[in-house]
């Protein structure tokens, strides 16, 4: 149990990569705070993790709501006395070509995928500085490296997250805090349900192994980055699979 006792916040933890990361972390001994929007979904994941022998607590958290985030962090500190890990996983897609994109589509993706990462990190960073230790893991994407058709808003947020971690590594590395971004290709999660089947098939055709990545594979990368002791940022464009 290489993460034994590490108090770990995971946003968007009720499904997909977030849920797989919560499962991986408790297997490694971490104490996991399952954060998501839906209370029933949060409770279901917490119960599943506990049934598997893990230690977990659940919170309804909207990453655009600073008060909810602050309450969650305060409760965790009251229970466990520290915050060791933040996984900024929550995110959405609202795709459209630039000439068709609405202000609402742009603003919502920016608010959740970019400002939400800032909100959550800002809420824990003082605690990590006081501890002299902490890890901030962030979900970026190859779309943030290369761009993608129809994803002006999403690409901007994922590029922005890479900028966040490069900056945070410079500011916080000397304080014992590591900031990293993981940049997967397309992953088989519920976020892809809105995409037409032919688009999914086109994605798969571009991957050497002819399949999308599984959430568990990304969770394994998060766990690896958590165990790695380097204080610098590491952006990992995962080549399996890349659209």
**Token pair recorded at residue 3:** 């993460």
Which member of 59, 118, 146, 154 is catalytic?
154
The question of whether 154 is a catalytic residue gets the answer yes
The span from the CA of 137 to the CA of 25, in Å, is: 13
Angle between helices 152-172 and 116-131 (to 10 degrees): 10
Peptide linkage before 171 cis (omega within 30 of 0) = no
Q: Mark residue 210 as left, alpha or beta (left: phi above 0; alpha: psi -120 to 50; beta: remaining).
A: left
The answer to whether the beta carbons of residues 120 and 42 sit under 8 Å apart is no
Q: How far is CA 207 from the centre of its chain?
A: 23
Catalytic residue list = 154
């Amino acid at each position: 149990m290489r993460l034994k006792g590490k108090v770990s916040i995971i946003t968007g933890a009720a499904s997909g990569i977030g849920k797989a990361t919560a499962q991986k972390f408790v297997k490694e001994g971490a104490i996991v705070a399952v954060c998501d929007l839906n209370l029933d979904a949060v409770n279901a994941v917490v119960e599943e993790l506990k049934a598997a022998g893990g230690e977990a607590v659940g919170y309804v958290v909207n990453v655009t709501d600073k008060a909810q985030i602050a309450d969650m962090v305060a409760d965790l500190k009251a229970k466990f006395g520290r915050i060791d890990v933040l996984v900024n996983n929550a995110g959405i897609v609202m795709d459209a070509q630039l000439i068709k994109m609405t202000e609402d589509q742009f603003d919502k993706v920016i608010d959740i995928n970019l400002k939400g990462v800032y909100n959550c990190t800002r809420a824990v960073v003082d605690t990590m500085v006081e501890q002299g230790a902490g890890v901030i893991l962030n979900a970026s994407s190859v779309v943030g490296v290369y761009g993608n058709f129809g994803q002006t808003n999403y690409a901007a947020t994922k590029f922005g997250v890479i900028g966040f971690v490069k900056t945070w590594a410079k500011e916080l590395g000397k304080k014992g805090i590591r900031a990293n971004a993981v940049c997967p290709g397309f992953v088989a999660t519920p976020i892809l349900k809105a995409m037409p089947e032919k688009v999914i098939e086109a994605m798969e055709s571009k991957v050497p192994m002819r399949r999308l990545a599984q959430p568990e594979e990304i969770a394994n990368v998060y766990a690896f980055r958590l165990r790695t002791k380097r204080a610098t940022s590491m952006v990992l464009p995962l080549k399996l699979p890349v659209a």
